[in-house]
Amino acid sequence: MRVFRFAKSSYSTKEHDCVEVARNIPTTVAVRDSKRPGGPILTVAPAAWGAFTADLRRPQQP
């Protein structure tokens, strides 16, 4: 059984929770809502997570 070790996003605050991400399993990145730690978990391949986060860092076009 996989045991994910989640870390809360640095963008989370007490008033505005965000997401938690677990990257401790080499073949999987797990993401969950930090307000619902017992809720559903989204899992993706590390390459997909890397592409997603790279796109988030890309400057927005007007």
Task: Give the whole-angstrom CA distance, residue 40 versus residue 49.
Answer: 17
Listed by start position, the domains of the chain span: 7-57
pTM, entire model: 0.80
Task: Give the whole-angstrom CA distance, residue 27 versus residue 59.
Answer: 29
Task: Give the whole-angstrom CA distance, residue 59 versus residue 52.
Answer: 14
Q: Which residues contact 17 (CB under 8 A, 6 or more apart)?
A: 8, 33, 34, 35
**Digitized pLDDT (tens) for each residue of the chain, 62 residues in all:** 679 999 987 777 777 778 899 999 999 999 999 888 899 999 999 999 999 999 988 888 87
Q: What token pair was written down for 29?
A: 């990145």
